[in-house]
Structure 1
Amino acid sequence: MLDHFSIGVRDIARTRRFYDAALQPLGYSCLSSGEGSLGYGADQVVLWISQTDHPVPGDPRSGLHFCFSAPDRAAVDRFHAGALAAGGECNGAPGLRSDYSPTYYAAFAIDPDGYRVEAYCGAAA
């Protein structure tokens, strides 16, 4: 169901110490590290962490984000259309996000309570 999720934190260094210690016994490690961001998982990043001054769930600036796996690109399109028809707000129309990867096809919406959601398919067209 979930491909990955993202959270926002105030202090990236403190957060890294916490997640390094907490996730290592579970077999997860930091697979991606950049200025202001971390990515944790086993074989692929599942938890993305970014630094923000607004780490409050429901605040669009919080960094909280859930990405759902989609079986194909048409499902991503239907996810977006359904979300908007049910009162969601567009946060990114369906399309390729080549800055993520050459086959990263996704759509983004904001639910009625302000949570950011995404549907993603990585299969080639």
Structure 2
Amino acid sequence: MLNHVSIGVADIARARDLYDAALAPLGYRCLDSGEAHLGYGADAIGLWLLKEEGVSPGDPRPGLHLCFEAPDRSAVAAFHEAALARGGRDNGAPGLRPDYGADYFAGFVIDPDGYRIEAYCGG
């Protein structure tokens, strides 16, 4: 169902300190890192921590992002269209996102409560 989860954080270094320690016993490690992101998983990234301006500790909405696995590109488009028809706000029309990966096809929506949701398919 979920392809990955992204969490907005105020301080990447502080987040890495906690997540490196807490996820190691579960068999997960940091697979990708940069000044504004960390990616955790075993063989593939399933959790992203993203530096977001204005995120305060205890405020989950601005940084919470859920990505749902879609079977194909038409399902991504249908997800986006249905969400907009039911009160969602466009946060990125369905399309290729080459900066995420050569075959990364996704559509993005902000739900009525401010949560960011995405449908994705690859290949």
Normalized against structure 1, the TM-score is what? 0.92
**Post-superposition offset of 1:7:** 0.7
Match of 1:41 in 2: 41
Match of 1:103 in 2: 103
SS at match of 1:68: strand
**Post-superposition offset of 1:10:** 1.3
Match of 1:77 in 2: 77
Distance 1:99 1:53, change over 3 A: closer
* Structure 1 unaligned spans of 5+: none
- Structure 1 ranges of 4+ moved more than 3 A: none
Is residue 90 of structure 2 the alignment partner of residue 87 of structure 1? Answer: no
How many residues align? The count is 120
Q: Report the Cα distance in structure 1 between the residues aligned to 2:10 and 2:106, rounded to whole angstroms.
A: 27
One-letter amino acid of the counterpart of residue 52, structure 2? T
Q: Report the Cα distance in structure 2 between the residues aligned to 1:63 and 1:57, rounded to whole angstroms.
A: 6
**Post-superposition offset of 1:8:** 1.1
**Post-superposition offset of 1:64:** 1.5
1:9-88 equivalence runs, <5 A: 9-55=9-55, 56-58=59-61, 62-88=62-88
Match of 1:121 in 2: 121
Q: Report the Cα distance in structure 1 between the residues aligned to 2:114 and 2:60, rounded to whole angstroms.
A: 8
Q: Report the Cα distance in structure 2 between the residues aligned to 1:86 and 1:36, rounded to whole angstroms.
A: 33
